[in-house]
Structure 1
Amino acid sequence: MQKLKYAGYDIVFQEVPGEISLAINITNCPYHCSECHSSYLANDFGDFVDDDIDKLLDKHSSLITCVCFMGGDQAMDDLKFLLEKVKAQGLKTCVYSGAEDVSIFKTILHLLDYLKIGPYIKTLGGLDSSTTNQKFFRVANGEICDLMNDRFVKKTHPN
């Protein structure tokens, strides 16, 4: 089984609306999106997530409500294992992926609370753009429930 590696993590507030998330930056990304803001994550390097997930959860579980894997679908069995560990801690889960279709996640949807799909295309913008191709979903009971892109788009206020 292929094991996922990561190149760091951070506690974030904007990746998953309404959640305080531990965002884990997974390396060896298979998508190679043109003009990706984290293109270094396409390289195969870093520590194995499996080796550190328990320490990360122990250290941060009192501060967070969600764990967001920034990638990981290139090793779906390992991702499933990690999602199970997170769920066992009573935390919500999210996966960010450059995949264009939710069908590749059918074996793990029951372990997800949120899922972002779609490659980054500079001319369309990211999740904060009203023209983006990317989609951010809420997942419940193994089913895609709501498209939540509107939570990311910056509202303009009249002066």
Structure 2
Amino acid sequence: MEIGGTIISSVEYNGKMSLVIFMAKCPLRCPYCHNSELLDNGEKTTLEEIYKTIDDSSDFIDAVVVSGGEPLVHSEELINILMHSKSLNLKTKVDTSGYYPKRLNEVLKYTDYIAIDIKVPFDKYKDIIGADVGNNVKKSMKMTSSNTNTFLECRTTYVPTLLNHDDIKQISHEIDCDLYTLQQFRSKSVLDDRLEDVESPNPNELKSLAREIKPFLNKVKIKTSEFGEEYI
């Protein structure tokens, strides 16, 4: 198993203090990926070392979040990490692209919170992301949404030149989740260098767009570097 490190965070699980484990490797190559150093490899580690990190942190955390990369590349190890966390009465969250619906189904019983990246409208994955996996992501979303024991957040990074307002409106009609998060694109670290000169969308633009789509969704928030998280 390979990881990209761990951090302690107060924002990755609805304000709960959490240990975040970044697992390496991902089957996608999103142009705006900000963790591109984790796409192919990371630091080799063992489950025992991960368990020790969780145990050492357990007195001052409420949750364990497994992110990436794509955690479900390592689905067996992921299940073991989630089971160990639950044995310590910690909440669990998994961040995923939705690429592996069958694997996701296997981890749902050990997961309190799933965040799925809805990168583009389902019918545009091949054109914009370069992988025809829109149906996989839709299956992952529907499967998680139907699981009443798991909170589902869908989230989209709004990247000017790749997405427009109509795309976000289309997504808002296609998704079914407890919370939809519209995230501000930042060009500081991207996989495709053609995006390095693309300006971040203005927070007011995102707020206005979020207000337009709110009638079709349960809860909506925006996430920007200027103002952090704001519920609309």
Normalising to structure 1: TM-score of the pair? 0.73
Question: In proportion to residue count, which structure has more helix?
Answer: 2
Alignment check: 8 A CA contact 2:6 2:21 kept: yes
What are the residue-to-residue correspondences of 1:6-155 with 2, within 5 Å?
6-70=3-67, 71-99=70-98, 104-118=103-117, 120=119, 141=149, 143=150, 147-149=178-180, 150=219, 152-153=221-222, 154-155=229-230
CA drift of 1:79 comes to 1.0
1:108 aligned counterpart, secondary structure = helix
- 2:166 counterpart residue number: none
CA drift of 1:45 comes to 2.3
Alignment check: 8 A CA contact 1:101 1:117 kept: no
Partners in 2 of 1:5 and 1:94 — Cα distance? Answer: 19
Which structure carries more relative contact order (alpha carbon 8 Å, separation 6+)? 1
Q: Which has the larger radius of gyration?
A: 2
More deviation, 47-56/75-84: 47-56
Task: Tell me how many residue pairs correspond in the alignment.
Answer: 140
Q: Cα RMSD over matched residues?
A: 2.9
Kindly provide the CA deviation profile for residues 96-115 of structure 1, in whole angstroms up to 9, marking residues without a partner as x. Answer: 11125755411111100101
Partners in 2 of 1:75 and 1:22 — Cα distance? Answer: 18
Structure 1 counterpart of 2:179, one-letter code:
M
Partners in 1 of 2:85 and 2:179 — Cα distance? Answer: 22
Alignment check: 8 A CA contact 2:221 2:230 kept: no
Cα 1:101–1:8 shift into 2, 3 Å = closer
The answer for unaligned runs of 5 or more in structure 1 is 122-134
- 1:5 counterpart residue number: 2
Alignment check: 8 A CA contact 1:23 1:69 kept: yes
Partners in 2 of 1:73 and 1:106 — Cα distance? Answer: 11
CA drift of 1:51 comes to 3.3
